[in-house]
Chain A
Amino acid sequence: MSDALLLFDLLLALAVVAIAAAALLVRDAFAMIVLFVVFGLLSALAWVRLAAPDVALAEAAIGTGLTGALLLKTLHHLRARGMAGWQPGAVAQRPVPRAVAWLNAGLALAVMAGLGVAILGSPLRVTGLEIAVAEAMPLSGVENPVTAVLLNFRAYDTLMEVVVLLSAVIVVWQIERGAGPAPAPSLGPVWQGFARLTLPAAALVGVYVLWAGAEAPGGAFQGGAMLAAIGLMMLLTGLYRPHPDHRGLARLLFVLGTVAFAATALLVAGGGRASFEYPPSYAKTLILLIEALVTISIAVTLTALFHGREPVALKGDLRHDP
């Protein structure tokens, strides 16, 4: 390995740590979010260096892109509601004494240093599960090992992950029920035209990423995130306005992935097969089917998480409904 690359790794690692600290310390909330996005993208770059392109794609699209959009939306909301000069710390519950803050910092530092020493002082480089994965790949029905883990070997985990997303949207709808119409952030007419032009292309990319997931980096979550980005654009440009009548359909789309995934898991069982045990000859078909439906659910759910409030008809002031 060349020294130049090692130097690059060192600088990148330093930048990641420094920007993480800066994001927490910078005073302006908008700058905080910008720094966070930079941090996320640099982390994704580091993960590419560690030979994890699938994860880097997911972190960039979901962990950084969508999280950043959510943070911006919330900041917009807080600033639009009354507190025009909203400053970091303005909504603090009670001030933390300086001594306590330092104590916390020391504590966090000590814990991490202790962990570092404990880990470095013991043998690293055990063999993980790569051999077991490689041996089982021919039976998995897909060619990309990460997709095989996500949708076959550990399909149960992935089902539950889709359930976590579903739980999140239910919780968000529950929390913001009866809230007044949100001060929706919006983009101007220029963007609207731009969106009309680019959205079909973006949709194609999303579908491609999903399809490519069977062989190359990509898959349901990254594809879903791409499609969700389209959803965000449509919300922001006003091309789509959530309407109370759409709630039933939205609910159906939220649960589609969960239901298809769980039902398949149960239906393939029997005749000596366990739950989630796809017959090898149908594995590819089943996985692609599940992935497609899960992608739709993920895209719609992520878009709904960005929109927040359940689109209900507001009759007068419902802000205090019990």
Chain B
Amino acid sequence: MTPDLIYGAAGLAVFGIGLWGAIALQDRMRRLLGLKLCSVGAGFVLIVGAWREPPAAPDPMPHALVITGIVVMLSATAAALALIRRLHDLEDADDRP
């Protein structure tokens, strides 16, 4: 057993948990968190793909891709959270007489 197998399996498991959260949960913030877990899970897969048995150096390409993915996910999260806040305000205003 090597670290890449262990973390590869963990990454797929995290993606699966996130997938379940994104499609099965109702709470808006929680569904978004599920999506964030998916992105970390996909990050694990790419980083495992970059890992080489020491002392060989890892492949830098997937590392760069994951950094890009992290920033992209933050952008999407920020947009979704803004929608959640605005929608909450509108629904809140409607609930009041």
Let me know if chains A and B touch directly in the complex, using CB atoms closer than 8 Å: yes
**Which residues on A are within 8 Å of B, measured CB to CB?**
1, 6, 9-10, 13-14, 16-17, 20-21, 23-24, 29, 32, 36, 39-40, 43, 46-47, 49-52, 54-55, 58-59, 62-63, 66-67, 70-71, 73-75, 77-78, 81-83, 88-96, 100-101, 104-105, 107-109, 111-112, 115-116, 119-120, 124, 128-130, 133, 145-146, 148-150, 154, 157-158, 161, 164-165, 167-169, 171-172, 175-176, 179-180, 182, 219, 221, 298, 302, 305, 308, 319
| Size of interface on B: residues with Cβ below 8 Å to A | 78
Q: Which residue of A has the minimal Cβ distance to B60? A: A145
Q: Are B17 and A20 in contact (CB under 8 A)?
A: yes
- In the assembled complex, how far is the CB of residue A96 from the closest CB belonging to chain B, in whole angstroms? 6
Name A59's contact: one of B40, B57, B86 (CB within 8 Å).
B40
Residues of chain B contacted by A58 (CB below 8 angstroms) = 66-67, 70-71
Q: Are B72 and A164 in contact (CB under 8 A)?
A: yes
Among B4, B78, B84, B93, residue most surrounded by chain A Cβ atoms (within 10 Å)? B78
Q: Are B89 and A179 in contact (CB under 8 A)?
A: yes
The tally of CB-CB contacts under 8 A between chains A and B is 268
A164 vs B81: C-alpha distance in the bound complex, in angstroms?
A: 16
**Which residues on B are within 8 Å of A, measured CB to CB?**
1-10, 12-21, 23-30, 33-34, 36-37, 39-40, 43-44, 47-52, 54, 57-68, 70-79, 81-86, 88-89, 91-93, 95-96
Q: Which residue of B has the minimal Cβ distance to A82? A: B92
Q: Which residue of B has the minimal Cβ distance to A126? A: B49
Q: Are B89 and A32 in contact (CB under 8 A)?
A: no
Contact A172 B60, CB 8 Å, known A50-B3, A96-B24, A112-B12: no
Interface of B is mostly: helix
A319 vs B9: C-alpha distance in the bound complex, in angstroms?
A: 48
Residues of chain A contacted by B36 (CB below 8 angstroms) = 36, 63, 67
Residues of chain A contacted by B9 (CB below 8 angstroms) = 13, 116
Q: Are B50 and A82 in contact (CB under 8 A)?
A: no
Residues of chain B contacted by A124 (CB below 8 angstroms) = 4
- In the assembled complex, how far is the CB of residue A11 from the closest CB belonging to chain B, in whole angstroms? 10
Q: Are A1 and B79 in contact (CB under 8 A)?
A: no
Q: Are B16 and A308 in contact (CB under 8 A)?
A: no
A82 vs B91: C-alpha distance in the bound complex, in angstroms?
A: 11
Q: Are A130 and B77 in contact (CB under 8 A)?
A: no
Name B7's contact: one of A50, A92, A101, A167 (CB within 8 Å).
A50
Residues of chain B contacted by A6 (CB below 8 angstroms) = 1, 3, 6
Residues of chain A contacted by B34 (CB below 8 angstroms) = 24
Q: Are B61 and A51 in contact (CB under 8 A)?
A: no
